Amino acid sequence: MKRRVVITGLGAVTPLGCSVPETWEAVCAGRSGVAPITRFDSTLFDTKIAAELKTFDPLQYVNKKEYRRLDDFILYAIAASEMAVADAGGAITGTNAERAGVIIGSAIGGLSTIEKEKETLTAAGPRRISTFAIPAVLCNLAGGHVSIRFGAKGPITCPVTACAAGTNAVGEAFRLIQDGYADVMIAGGVDAAITPLGIGGFNAMRALSTRNAEPEKASRPFDRDRDGFVVGEGGGILILEEMTAALDRGARVYAEMAGYGSTCDAFHMAAPPPGHEGAVRCMQAALRDAALAPEAIDYINAHGTSTPLNDAYETQAIHTVFGVHSDRLAVSSTKSMTGHMLGAAGGVEALFAALAIRDGVVPPTINLDRPDPDCDLDYVPHTARRQAVRAAMSNTFGFGGVNAVVILKEFRP
């Protein structure tokens, strides 16, 4: 018998706010977090906009010495995890520490530290490289610092699966609890890639929007005028618990984790295959794992990156999986507001799915002014919608052909 798994805590730092309530309020209001880049001089770059964290204060979570030693992506993990653990209220204790684990994914890790230390190497030589350079760069150190902070001594790992990393983290944490290897998991994703190399590299791939004159309108999933994604940053963390233990301690439950699917396209480094058949298999796998019929899903938080191929192929994949039920689905891309948070996207978007279930609110897709004829689903344009959400799916697809999907459902003891 598989054990049941519930979500009891949420934490987030996003371009829309540095708390879950602030972020969720902005999403439901349809506000964009995209603006001109302030982190560096973007004059020579094709893209001069991004979805930066605007109000984040790391010194709320670490001291000045720690701050100087840690990359931003690690700081985001610590902050979002602090919020989530506090929100869960007593999920990790001295008695269950060996059954508490951490899985925090990241697509890119400490990119700003790499750039900074390369400048030091060039200007001053190898002896001036920081002792803490490598620990600040490694993707798994986000989870490492979180495990130390909360004394979580159980399973720890770090999916580095591009834009699917956060979803893979949540899904693998779900399975560890289901199968009895852990009782509570801190899971999600983080990334901090708004750097000269990050923006320049994605520009070289021609992946980013260059709608620099209208930053708030640049991320426009499923719109015929979309011209690429907008880089976002931050972190989204969920606390997953075995159901009985959570109920025994009187925990508040946001939603139940129901299913997880993970597949590979085995097709191309960056582009999805026609019809997005890998995504089709992934959504089908998640539905089988959840023992749910397609008709049970009310809402899909789409990958919806605002790139020409992804949005059209994801739409085709949803039609393939859901058939006639596709016309009754609410589908939205919150990346229209947060930008694409890369490895953090899956954690944040699973969090949004949990809140949609809790509040009976489907977030909108903003900037959908001229729908693409190839994108013909109900994308909840412009304005959030009040409706019952009994089960929600969250899709993420990454470079390398990685596909990851989680399904959450309304909790019934």
Known catalytic residues are 163, 303, 340
φ, ψ (nearest 5 deg) of residue 82: -55, -45
Burial of 288 (0-12, 13-18, 19+ CB in 10 A): exposed
Residues 6+ apart with CB under 8 A from 29: 384
φ, ψ (nearest 5 deg) of residue 230: -115, 130
217 near 48, Cβ under 8 Å? no
In which residue are the tokens 């396209």 written?
265
* Residue type for position 373: P
78 near 145, Cβ under 8 Å? yes
Return the bridge partners of 259, or none.
407
What are the structure tokens assigned to 237, written together? 């963390």
Strands 100-105 and 255-264: unpaired
DSSP calls for 372-411: -TT--SB--BSS-EE---SEEEEEEEETTTEEEEEEEE--
* Residue type for position 88: A
φ, ψ (nearest 5 deg) of residue 316: -60, -40
DSSP 8-state class, residue 95: T
φ, ψ (nearest 5 deg) of residue 253: -110, 125
Alpha-carbon gap, residue 75 to 297, rounded angstroms:
35
Alpha-carbon gap, residue 225 to 306, rounded angstroms:
9
* Closest CA relative to residue 134, chosen from 192, 196, 72, 71: 71
Alpha-carbon gap, residue 135 to 398, rounded angstroms:
25
E strand segments, 15-109: 35-36, 49-50, 100-105
